[in-house]
A and B are shown apart, each in its own frame.
Chain A
Amino acid sequence: MADTPAVANLAIAPPATVVAETVGTTRDYWRAIWGNTGGKVAIAFLSLLILLALLASVIAAHSPSELLGPELTSRPPSWAYPFGTDVLSRDVLTRMLYGTRISLRIALLAATLSGVVGLLWGATAGYLGGAIDALLMRSVDMFLAIPRVLLVLTVVSLWPDLSPDGLVLVLGLTGWFGVSRLARAQALGIRHREFVSAAHALGVSRYRVLVRHVVPHALGPVLVATTIGVGHVLVLEAGLSFLGLGVRPPTPTWGSIIADGSESYQVTWWLTVFPGMALIGTSLAVNAIAHRLRVVIHPRQLPGR
């Protein structure tokens, strides 16, 4: 009833609560990313990477495991081989193109898997509450007590002949615990909102309320967490491949290319620098996008919406 001093509350069409309450449509998210220089650069960079990865077989002059011959081992970058060659005389540019395909695919799929599982798990726990909530969240606490790297290393070293899809499963299913907590907090926040009561009063089933009202509400923060998760998985996968525990050779990934040059990195610097740059660039781009997405969810925390 009372008008309050903050400007947004002056009964200019959307009053007080609406400002904190972002609708968060797809268009809002897209506008937040694209309406910002950093966001544009990040999108452009990622689009380019994805395009190159998709067209790898068209662009690449060689096949990723093709040996070019003993005279072409460990060549520095040149016009013929822009990213040089490795100890086994394979073209590094070719391997980078195919490696991007594998690395990005693993990172995107694993992060998405984490996002979906975490979202459903947490939203269910928060919405149903009570004993189910306790059961679901205590099991999350248990897994969170074990460092993720340890968990991944254990599974991966016990899994003979790990395929890239297997790696997606391992990385995806170890990355959703934090996400589920976020989703649960969101679900708890709207569980007692009156529109949820209204849906119950209409005779809408619990499952439908969960899917139609609760899950969409938790989507925003989960989207941000998932985007940041892409960066994490990317680095984690590179680390595993570097240790020789990731995707099995000769399949190239950014991590395995770095590993190939690790014995002589002072000399064959190109084996470290190019995949390293790709890793850093992608992580930065993904984090920039996550940062922009957060603007939609918490419009007051960040300037320059």
Chain B
Amino acid sequence: MTAPTAPSPLLRVEHLRTYFHTRSGIARAVDDVSFDVYPGETIGVVGESGSGKSVTALSLLRLIDPPGRIEAGSRIIFEGRDLLTAPEEDVRRIRGNRISMVFQEPMTALNPVFTVGDQVAEVARVHDRASRKAAWERAVEMLSLVGIPSPRERALQYPHEMSGGMRQRVLIAMALVMRPALLIADEPTTALDVTIQAQILELLADLQQKFGTAIVLITHDLGVVAEVASRALVMYGGQVVERAPVRELFANPKHPYTQGLLRAMPRVGQGLDRLVTIPGTVPAPTAWPTGCRFRDRCPLAFDRCATEAPMLPDGAHGARCHLAEAGTPVAFADRA
């Protein structure tokens, strides 16, 4: 599943920087993010609010509105061409066709005045110039593929007549009509209940098997990453602070932030009286600390962290931390 041996990545992001030029200063929401996505793999991007994970996702499709701007020097190479220098018209053709996106809120992402069948069919009509009838048949087929029972009847329903889980299935159907090479899923299950979340995650894995789609899964939930992704990026302060194969990440987290996150989650059967906490809150993106952006919350911080920004080393498993090369000591100890 991990495919670093495969010679050419499907998507290569290099030094992506997306800044928001606001009155209160420049918000460096995404600041020098680089990663590869290989065909057919699932890569999890984990982070809390303000980590820059959603802005990264939107940047991949060039969906950044002013005052946001993808800065010069950023490169997003998809199937051999740089999406950032391509004409808008070409990028528009790629969106929903070669790369598609699923959003968090299945209600607002659907248009309430059209039937779900119309909305799925619309994608085929736009990108494939399919006839009305052919597009409708495609829509029904997709709805059936995403596990909607009696799809022919359900296609005639409006979004408000469906449950949250069903609406998310419709969105996934829309995203996959064109059999895209890459699916960007931004918190696709956050708004759903756990039993429905389990259904949707299983569906995504199934469809990936069927179509060979690569998935970039953006989430705040380390549990979701553990279940579905083969590789993971942990984001903090607009940067990737750790990149690792999923098993490695959970077995041997190198960045103090990753260690803290893993220990801060309550787990069934853990039997701890107190949870481990990461002190403080995420700083504002207009005022990241100098040096390492995590240093004022890190129990292991020392002089060098304030003066010198650590780099993310190459290789399968790396962390943006001065202590990582030798293997970071345990930053957040369990307290019983």
Contacts and interface: CB of A to CB of B under 8 A. Distances in A.
Given A10-B285, A11-B285, A3 B27 contact: no
A5 interface: yes
A12 B27 contact: yes
A13 to B, nearest CB: 6
Nearest to B238: A10
Given A11-B282, A12-B27, A5 B55 contact: yes
7 contacts: A5-B54, A10-B20, A10-B285, A11-B50, A11-B282, A11-B285, A12-B22
A80 interface: no
Contacts of A15: 49
Given A7-B20, A7-B68, A1 B49 contact: yes
Contacts of B52: 3
Contacts of B27: 7, 10, 12
Nearest to B28: A10
B22 A13 contact: no
A12 B29 CA distance: 10
Nearest to B219: A2
Contacts of A12: 22, 24, 27, 284-286
Contact of A5 (B48, B51, B65): B65
Interface of A: 1-5, 7-8, 10-13, 15
Given A5-B58, A5-B65, A10-B285, 10 more contacts: A1-B49, A2-B104, A3-B55, A10-B29, A10-B50, A11-B50, A11-B282, A11-B285, A12-B24, A13-B284
Interface of B: 20, 22, 24, 27, 29, 48-55, 58, 63-65, 67-68, 104, 186-187, 190, 218, 220, 282, 284-286
A7 B49 contact: no
B285 A2 contact: no
Contacts of A8: 22
Nearest to A13: B284
Contacts of B20: 7, 10
A15 B49 CA distance: 10
A14 to B, nearest CB: 10
Nearest to A2: B187
Nearest to B59: A5
A1 B220 contact: yes
Given A10-B20, A10-B50, A1 B284 contact: no
Of the listed residues A3, A10, A15, the one surrounded by the most CB atoms of chain B closer than 10 A to its CB is A3
B285 A4 contact: no
B301 to A, nearest CB: 21
B94 to A, nearest CB: 19
A2 B185 CA distance: 12
Contacts of B284: 10-13
Contacts of B286: 12
A13 B22 CA distance: 13
A48 to B, nearest CB: 34
Given A10-B285, A12-B286, A5 B53 contact: no
Nearest to B284: A12
B65 to A, nearest CB: 7
Contacts of A5: 54-55, 58, 63-65, 68
B172 to A, nearest CB: 18
Of the listed residues A4, A5, A13, the one surrounded by the most CB atoms of chain B closer than 10 A to its CB is A5
A268 B220 CA distance: 78
B190 A3 contact: no
A31 to B, nearest CB: 15
B281 to A, nearest CB: 9
A112 to B, nearest CB: 35
A2 B282 contact: no
A3 B282 CA distance: 12
Contacts of B68: 5, 7
Given A12-B27, A12-B284, A3 B22 contact: no
Given A10-B29, A11-B49, A11-B285, A4 B24 contact: no
A87 to B, nearest CB: 59
A2 B49 contact: yes
B63 to A, nearest CB: 7
A15 B218 CA distance: 20
A11 B284 CA distance: 6
A3 B67 CA distance: 16
Identify the 5 closest CB pairs spanning chains A and B, nearest first.
Answer: A11-B50, A7-B20, A2-B187, A12-B284, A3-B54
Contact of A2 (B22, B24, B64, B186): B186
A11 B50 CA distance: 5
A4 B104 CA distance: 10
A15 B281 CA distance: 14
Nearest to A5: B58
B49 A3 contact: yes
A7 B50 contact: no
B247 to A, nearest CB: 25
A7 B67 contact: yes
Contacts of B22: 7-8, 12
Contact of B53 (A3, A7, A13): A3
A231 B285 CA distance: 46
A98 B65 CA distance: 56
A185 B168 CA distance: 33
Contacts of B29: 10
Given A12-B22, A12-B24, A1 B190 contact: yes
